[in-house]
């Protein structure tokens, strides 16, 4: 459903932007991360009673780019799963991440700790692990 699709991508975009310390570079976090939890709940997770997030993946490349994808389905219709993705650039300083995407006019804040990236959305934290 287009509404669920738009809402999910907006939620993903609103989850990413930050500031922070110094000394850590992109090569330290480069890799593929799998979405493990949303608000400390194992997947699948229903958000706002309209979309069920089934899986997600965050690919961080040491050239300063990223791709974030999520597989979801609309809960009212219990339709087939769909996968959507956004891409863009990120900065990484200390443990703080800022993700910027041309797909949306918003930055998303994140953090990195012990191999886990947390994306901080209005509706909670999405935790990705290598």
Give the dihedral of Cα atoms 80, 108, 33, 78; nearest 10 deg.
-10
Q: Is the pTM of this model over 0.95?
A: no
- What's the rounded Cα separation, in Å, for the pair 28 and 40? 25
Better pLDDT: 123 or 115: 115
The larger pLDDT score, comparing residue 8 to residue 37, is at: 37
pLDDT > 50? residue 23: no
Which residues form the domain of 28? 2-129
| Residue 110's CATH number | 2.40.128.640
Q: Do residues 128 and 121 touch, judged by C-beta distance below 8 A?
A: no
pLDDT tens, position by position, 53-111: 999 999 999 999 999 999 999 987 778 899 999 999 999 998 999 999 987 777 899 99
pLDDT of residue 13: 44
Which range scores top for mean pLDDT: 23-32, 33-42, 78-87, 95-104? 33-42
Containing 55, the helix (H) or strand (E) segment is strand 51-61
Q: Reply yes or no on whether the pLDDT at 18 is more than 50.
A: no
Count of structural domains within the chain:
1
- For the record, the structure tokens of 69 come out as 């994808």
């Amino acid at each position: 459903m287009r509404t669920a699709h738009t809402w999910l991508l907006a939620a993903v975009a609103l989850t990413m932007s930050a500031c922070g310390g110094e000394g850590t570079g992109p090569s330290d976090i480069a890799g593929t991360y799998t979405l493990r939890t949303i608000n400390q709940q194992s997947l699948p997770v229903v958000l706002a009673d309209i979309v069920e997030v089934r899986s997600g993946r965050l690919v961080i490349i040491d050239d300063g780019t990223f791709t974030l994808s999520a597989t979801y389905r609309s809960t009212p219709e219990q339709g087939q799963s769909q996968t959507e993705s956004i891409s863009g650039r990120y900065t990484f300083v200390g443990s703080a991440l800022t993700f910027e995407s041309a797909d949306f006019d918003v930055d998303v804040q994140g953090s990195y700790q012990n191999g886990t990236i947390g994306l901080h959305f209005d509706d909670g934290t999405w935790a990705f692990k290598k």
